[in-house]
Structure 1
Amino acid sequence: MKTDATARTVHSPRRSALAVAAVFAVTAVLATAPMASRAAADERKTTVSVTLPTDPLLVQLNQVALERSGPKRAVVESTGAAQAGRYRVLSGDRTVAEGELKPLPDFSAWGAGKRYFEADFSSVQTAGVYRVEATLDGRRVLSAPVRVRDQALFATTADKLLDYFRRSRHTGKGDRRIRIFETDRFVDVHGGWKDAGGDTGKYLSHLGYANFFNPQQTSMAAWVLAYTADASADLYRRAGLLKRAQDEAFWGADYLHRILDAEGYFYTTVFDKWGAEGAERMVVGYEGDDGRYTKLYRSAYRAGGGMAIAALARASLLAKQSGRHGSVDGKTYLADAIKGFDHLQQFNAQYTANGVENIIDDYTALMAAVELFNATKESRFLDAARTRADSLMRRQAADGRFISDGGTRPYYHAVEAGLPALSLGHYLDIETDDARRGHATTVIKAALQHEVDITRRVSNPFGYARQSFQLAKDGKADGPVLEGFFIPHKNETGYWWQGESARLLSLSTAMAVAGRKVSPALPADWAAFAQDQVDWTLGKNPYGISMLYGFGKRNPPTVASSAGDMFAGGISNGITGAVGSDAGEGIAFGPGPDDEQWRWVEQWIPHSTWMLLAATSMARSR
C-alpha cells in the first residue's frame, strides 16, 4: 500500500522517535533537527539503507523449508576468478551429498563483478536440517540452515500465517458507524483486516483509477481462507489448525456481508488517507499518492467484487461442511453472493473507472461464477463461467501471454500474475464439455509455458519470474513491449510500485494447481519455476533475506515509521528494481529514505494470502 508522504510521511499514525532494528547488517543514519523541546526530538528522521552483500563468497538458498521430494537448489555468488568449485550438503557435521558446482551464465543486470554457480542437492530426500557448504579459490562458506520434510511449506508456516491474519484483524469500534462519501448515509462496516502493517484502512482493492492494476486484497484473503479451510480441511486438521482456519474464514465472510450494500454492490474501501490528521474515515474511493477521495467506492468485479462473491459462496460451503458459521449463517453467505453476482452482471462496467471491462474483470468474475456453481449447481452459473472463460481465453496471444485490454497492452500484474491461469484451473473443475475442457487445457499449458520461457530467455541465476510490460505516457501504457524482472516504475498509477512477493507466490500457486490439472506429472521446468519463486521469497535472493518475518536467518529491518507493525507470518513487499529506473531495471531493497520504505519493508495482506494458498496447494499436490 501507499503512504501519504505529505500528510504523515508514513502509513502508521505514530510519529514518535523510532526504534529501528534489523537482524542483519544495515546502515542506519540518524539525522536530527535542532531540538527546542522533547516534541521536536520525536520528529527525528531515521533512514535505513540495505545494500547488497559484498562478501567474496556467499551461498543463497531457501532458509525456511524445502519439500523432501522436490527441487533443492542453492545459488553460490563469488567475486573471485574461480571457474570451478565444489559443494557439500551437511547434516550437522556429516556430509550427505557433494559434487561439483555448476557454473551459470554471466549475469550483470544487478551489478558487475560476480560469478554465479549452482549447487543442486535435489537428491537429498531424507527429512532433516541441512546446510550447503561451497568451496572456491580456497575460500569456504556455509549457508543458512533449511529444513527438509514432507509438506514442508505448509507444515512450517501455516500456524504463523494464520496468526498473522488473526493479529491483523480490525477490531476497533469506530467502523460501526461511518459515512458513505458525499452522502448522509451511515453504515456498519466493522471487522475485516487491516490492509498492511502501517495502514488501518480496509480494501477490497485499490488503484482502480488506473484500470489494469487492481489487486485482490481483503476479498482474496477471505476466499483463500474459506477455500483452504474447506478443500484442505484434512490438512489443517492433522496440523491442529482447522478451527483457527475456519474462524478466520468466517471473520472475513462476516465483513463481506457487512459491506454488501442493500443495492447489491460491495464497498471497495474504508479509508482515511492513511490516518492523516483531520481526514474523515469513510466508505470512499481514492486515487493517487495524495489519497484524493473519489466516488469510485462501488466494487466492480476487478475491484474486489468478484473475489468477494467467490469468498461468500465458498464460505457457505464451509459452513455446510463444518456445521459452523460466523455472525450470520451459511444460507446468508450464499444469498449475499448471489445478490452481489446478479448486481454486477448488470452494472459492472458502470463501476469501473473507464467503463470498459478488462482481463481482471474476466478472471475475477470467472472465480465468482465457479464458486457459485460449486455452491448451488445451478446451470446459470456454469453458463456465466463459460462466458467469462471464453472471454479470458480470447485474450491470449500466440506466445502464451495474456493481453489486458481489447488491444495490445500486455497483462502484467505486481500482485496476482498467476490468477488468470489459476482461475481457468478452477473452471476445469466444473466444466463437463470435452471441447471446452480441451480448449482451456491448451490455454493453461501455453500460459504456464510462457512464464517459464520468458523467465529463461536471459541469464537469470535465481530464476526470478520475468514479465513483459509497457511504460506509461500521459497515464496510459504506450510504446514498445519491453521485458524485465520487476514491475515498471513508470506505470499507469502514477506512483505505485513495490516489491512483488505476492506476484511470485501467485505464479507458484498457478503452477501447483493449474499445472497439475493439465499435466499431472508436472514438467521438471515448471516445478523448478514454482520452487524458484518460493525460494526467492524465503531467502534465495541477492540480499539473503527471508521476506517471511520470523522465519529464516535474516528478515527485513523493522522500520516502524513507514512499515508499521511487523508480525511473524507477515511477508514484506520485497525487492524491486532500482530507484530512479522507469523500467524497473537494476535492483533495490530498502535503500531509504524512511518515508519510502513501505515499498520494500511493509507487510501487506496479499503476500501472506498467496503464501497460504501456495503452501496448501503444494501440500495437496504431493
Structure 2
Amino acid sequence: MMFTPAFSHFGKLILVAMLVLVSACSSKPQPSNPPNLAKANIYINQVAFDVQAPKQAVIALPIGETASRFIVYQDSNIIYQGKLTSSPSFTEWGQGTHYYLADFSSIKRRGEFHIVVNTPKQQLASSTFTIKPNAYFALTAKSLVNYFKASRHTNPKDKSIRIIETEHYLDVSGGWVDSGSNSNKSLAQLTASNFLVSQQSALATWAMAKSYSKLSRLYDRKALTLTLAEEVIWGADYLHRVLASNGYFYTKILDGSDADEDRLVSNYNALNDEYTANFQAAFREGGGMAIAALVRAHEISNKTGVQGEFSAKQYLTDAERAFAHLQKYNQRYVDNGKENIIDDYTALIAATELYRITKKTKYLKAARHRAHKLNNRMTSQGWFVSDDDERPFYHGVDAGLPIIALVDYLTIERNRQLKNKTKRTIKLSLDYQLALNTQVANPFNLARQTFRTSKDGLYSKQQEGFFMPHDNESNDWWQGENARMASLTAAAIWGGKITHSDPHGAFGINNELANFAQSQIDWLMGKNPYQVCMLYGFGVNNPPHAKSAGTMLNGGISSGITGATLSPEGRGITWAEGPDENNWRWVEQWLSHSTWYLLAMTAMTE
C-alpha cells in the first residue's frame, strides 16, 4: 500500500517520477483503463450476504438498451421478482452506460442464489452468491486468520539487526511482513507525510484481539480461538522486542540500502528516498496503536491462557511505560514537530484501552484530553480538520479510525456532557459521509471523501471525489483503497449503533447507513466496475498475479481500484492497467487491507 524501500521496489520509485512528469504534461487526464462500457453486466457481491443485511446489485446496460425487472433464482427455482430502479446518469468513469439498482434485501432464505435480468436483446445472469447467518465470519474467518499466520516474518536473521548510524544490534524477530512483495516490518507507513500516516502491524494485533472480544463464541465454535490468540501474542511479542529501553518503539525494520546490509532498524523517508535514524514511533507513527495492542494482548492472554515468549503482565507493563514516555516526548518524535488528528485518535485509543483495564484516573484524564481535541476538530459541516490550517482529514487507509476511537472512548466515559459532545461528533461525521455519497450520481454507493490536493507545498481548494488524490503530501503515494472502504464500514456500524440506531434494521442501524456499510464490502467482493473480488480465494474473479506484487495468499486483500493514473485529483478510474512492474499499485496484498476487513467483518457479525 505504501512505498517501503527494497531492491524490488527501486523501479517503482523511478516509475513514480516518470508518472509525475507525464501527469504534469497532461492537461486533460482521462480514465486510463475504464471498465468495458459496451457490455451489459450485473455487478454483484460474488461471495455472500448475511441473512439480515441489505442486498443489492447494480445492472449496467448500454444506452438504448433497457430493462424493468429482475429475477432471483435458487438453483432453477424463482424465489423473488422485483422492479429495477433507474439510477441518475453517471459518467465520471466513462460514457455510454445506464445503471439500474436491483434491491432484494427482503430475501431471508438461506442458500445459493443468482440474479437474471432480461432485456429485449439478451438475458443476463449474475455470478452465484450465498445468503446465510453470520455469512462473512462463517465463510472467511478461517482464511483470514490463516492469512495473518502465513504473513509472519520468521527469518532468524532478525534476531540480530543493526540500528542505523550505530553499531548496536537488536533482536527484532517476529511480526508480520508489510506486504506480499517485501519483508519489511512497520508499525506505521508514510511517517514523513505527517497527514497520511497509516497504521500497520500494531493495528493488526489490536484488531485481532478486539475481534475476539466481540465474537469469542463464534471463534470458539469455529475452533479458531487458539489460532487467533497465537497471532495476537505473536504480534505482542514483536512489539515488546521493538520497545526501546527508554520507552519508545522502533517504527520500522527495513531491507538494507545496499548489498552489504541485509536489514536495518531505521526509518525511511519516501519523499527524499533516504534511510533515516528518525525511528522513534510517535503516537501517530504506530506508538499509540502499539500501546493499545499490548493492552489487548494482555487481556486475551489472560482469558485464553495462550502465552508467548513474554507474559501478559509484561505486555501491560510495556504499554504503561510506553504511554508515559510518549506523553512526554511525542511532539519531539513527529516529523514536522506538530501533533495532528492522527496523534489524537491513536493516543485516544491507547488511553482508552489503558483505562479500561487498569481503571487508573490518569488514563481517563488523558483520554478526555484527546477526545476533547478530536471533538474540536469536527466542523459544523461534518468533516474533521487535520491540523490548525483547515486541511480536511482524508485518508487512504484508516479513514474510519477517528470515529472508532470516539466510539470506544464512550465505553469508559460517564460524564453526560462529554458523552453528548462525542455523540454529536460521531453523528455529524456519519451524516456528512451519507450526504457526500448522495451529492452526485453514485450507483455503487462508493464512499466519497473531501480533500485538498497538495503540490510543492501548496494546497488546492477543497473538493470531493471517489478516490485519493494523487497529488498529496507524500509526493508519491496513491494506491487502491480497500482498507479505507472496510474501515468506513466498521465506523458506520459501530458509530451508527450510537447515533443512527434501529433495533430492527440491518446491523442495528438505519437503512441508509446500513446500505452504505454493506456497499463498501460489496465493492471489495466484486460489485465494482471491473467485477474483481479483492479477497483472494473467494468469488469468481480474483486479482491477477503480478511479479511486482509478490506473493498472493488466500485471505489476503489486494490494494484495489484507483482514480485514473494521470489524474492529480484521482478522477476517473483504473485497475491493474499494467505493465507488470506497475501493477503492484492495484494488485499487491497489504496487511492493512485484511486487518480492516477483519474489523468490518466483526462489526457486521456482532
TM-score per shorter chain, which class?
over 0.9
| Counterparts of residues 134-533 of structure 1 (less than 5 Å) | 134-272=117-255, 277-288=259-270, 291-474=273-456, 476=457, 478-521=459-502, 522-533=509-520
Taking the aligned partners of 1:484 and 1:51, their CA distance within structure 2 comes to 17
Of 72, 75, 98, the match for 2:55: 72
Does the residue aligned with 2:189 lie in a helix, a strand or coil?
A: coil
Deviations, residues 443-466 of structure 1 (Å, cap 9, x unaligned):
101111111111111001000100
Offset, 1:150 = 1.0
Does the residue aligned with 1:8 lie in a helix, a strand or coil?
A: helix
Q: Which amino acid aligns with 2:527?
A: K
Deviations, residues 75-123 of structure 1 (Å, cap 9, x unaligned):
0011141344221011011111112211100001001000100110101
**Residue correspondences, number:** 581
**Structure 1 counterpart of 2:24:** none
Does the residue aligned with 1:284 lie in a helix, a strand or coil?
A: strand
Deviations, residues 442-489 of structure 1 (Å, cap 9, x unaligned):
110111111111111100100010011111121x35120011000000
Of 527, 537, 541, the match for 1:550: 537
Taking the aligned partners of 2:180 and 2:272, their CA distance within structure 1 comes to 19
| Aligned: 1:103 with 2:83 | no
Does the residue aligned with 1:130 lie in a helix, a strand or coil?
A: strand
Cα distance 1:361–1:162, how it changes in 2: closer, same or farther (>3 A)? same
| Aligned: 1:535 with 2:535 | no
Taking the aligned partners of 1:218 and 1:477, their CA distance within structure 2 comes to 32
**Structure 2 counterpart of 1:591:** 577
Deviations, residues 567-603 of structure 1 (Å, cap 9, x unaligned):
0000000000001100000001011122221110000
Taking the aligned partners of 2:4 and 2:228, their CA distance within structure 1 comes to 34
Offset, 1:523 = 1.6
Taking the aligned partners of 1:278 and 1:132, their CA distance within structure 2 comes to 58
- Partners of 1:484 and 1:584 within 8 A in 2: yes
- Partners of 1:301 and 1:361 within 8 A in 2: yes
Q: Which amino acid aligns with 2:459?
A: D
Q: Which amino acid aligns with 2:193?
A: A
- Partners of 1:86 and 1:136 within 8 A in 2: no
Cα distance 1:309–1:11, how it changes in 2: closer, same or farther (>3 A)? farther
Of 99, 109, 125, the match for 1:116: 99
Does the residue aligned with 1:480 lie in a helix, a strand or coil?
A: coil
| Counterparts of residues 544-583 of structure 1 (less than 5 Å) | 544-559=531-546, 561-583=547-569
Taking the aligned partners of 2:68 and 2:120, their CA distance within structure 1 comes to 8
Q: Which amino acid aligns with 1:553?
A: V
Taking the aligned partners of 1:304 and 1:172, their CA distance within structure 2 comes to 23
Taking the aligned partners of 2:382 and 2:34, their CA distance within structure 1 comes to 36
- Partners of 2:114 and 2:128 within 8 A in 1: yes
**Structure 2 counterpart of 1:85:** 68
Does the residue aligned with 1:148 lie in a helix, a strand or coil?
A: strand
- Partners of 1:11 and 1:563 within 8 A in 2: no
Offset, 1:10 = 6.6
Cα distance 1:289–1:569, how it changes in 2: closer, same or farther (>3 A)? farther
Taking the aligned partners of 2:126 and 2:222, their CA distance within structure 1 comes to 29
Single out whichever of 148-157 and 332-341 deviates more from structure 2. 148-157
Offset, 1:520 = 3.0
Unaligned runs of 5+ in 2: 13-31, 503-508
Single out whichever of 190-199 and 319-328 deviates more from structure 2. 319-328
Cα distance 1:211–1:289, how it changes in 2: closer, same or farther (>3 A)? closer
- Partners of 1:60 and 1:541 within 8 A in 2: yes
Offset, 1:240 = 1.7
Unaligned runs of 5+ in 1: 13-48
Deviations, residues 313-366 of structure 1 (Å, cap 9, x unaligned):
111111222222211111000000001100000000111001100000000000
Offset, 1:151 = 1.0
Q: Which amino acid aligns with 1:525?
A: E
Taking the aligned partners of 2:397 and 2:231, their CA distance within structure 1 comes to 22
Offset, 1:210 = 1.0
Single out whichever of 497-506 and 121-130 deviates more from structure 2. 121-130
Does the residue aligned with 2:315 lie in a helix, a strand or coil?
A: helix
**Structure 2 counterpart of 1:19:** none
**Structure 2 counterpart of 1:33:** none
Does the residue aligned with 2:253 lie in a helix, a strand or coil?
A: strand
Q: Which amino acid aligns with 1:332?
A: Q
Deviations, residues 176-209 of structure 1 (Å, cap 9, x unaligned):
0011111121110000001100011000012111
**Structure 1 counterpart of 2:505:** none
Taking the aligned partners of 1:498 and 1:459, their CA distance within structure 2 comes to 24
- Partners of 1:11 and 1:199 within 8 A in 2: no
Taking the aligned partners of 1:289 and 1:357, their CA distance within structure 2 comes to 20
Q: Which amino acid aligns with 2:513?
A: W
**Structure 2 counterpart of 1:8:** 8
Of 578, 597, 600, the match for 2:586: 600
- Partners of 1:477 and 1:491 within 8 A in 2: no
- Partners of 2:453 and 2:471 within 8 A in 1: yes
Cα distance 1:171–1:179, how it changes in 2: closer, same or farther (>3 A)? same
Cα distance 1:369–1:260, how it changes in 2: closer, same or farther (>3 A)? same
Q: Which amino acid aligns with 1:218?
A: S
Taking the aligned partners of 1:285 and 1:356, their CA distance within structure 2 comes to 19
Does the residue aligned with 1:88 lie in a helix, a strand or coil?
A: strand
Offset, 1:229 = 2.3
**Structure 2 counterpart of 1:36:** none
Q: Which amino acid aligns with 2:313?
A: K
Cα distance 1:502–1:2, how it changes in 2: closer, same or farther (>3 A)? closer
Cα distance 1:276–1:97, how it changes in 2: closer, same or farther (>3 A)? farther
Deviations, residues 161-186 of structure 1 (Å, cap 9, x unaligned):
00100000000001100111111211
Offset, 1:257 = 0.7
Does the residue aligned with 2:60 lie in a helix, a strand or coil?
A: strand
Does the residue aligned with 2:80 lie in a helix, a strand or coil?
A: strand
Taking the aligned partners of 1:488 and 1:370, their CA distance within structure 2 comes to 33
Cα distance 1:458–1:131, how it changes in 2: closer, same or farther (>3 A)? same
Cα distance 1:321–1:581, how it changes in 2: closer, same or farther (>3 A)? same
TM-score normalized by the length of structure 2: 0.93
Taking the aligned partners of 1:377 and 1:335, their CA distance within structure 2 comes to 14
Taking the aligned partners of 1:396 and 1:233, their CA distance within structure 2 comes to 34
Offset, 1:295 = 2.0
Taking the aligned partners of 2:261 and 2:8, their CA distance within structure 1 comes to 11
Cα distance 1:359–1:6, how it changes in 2: closer, same or farther (>3 A)? closer
**Structure 1 counterpart of 2:604:** 618
**Structure 2 counterpart of 1:24:** none
Offset, 1:3 = 5.7
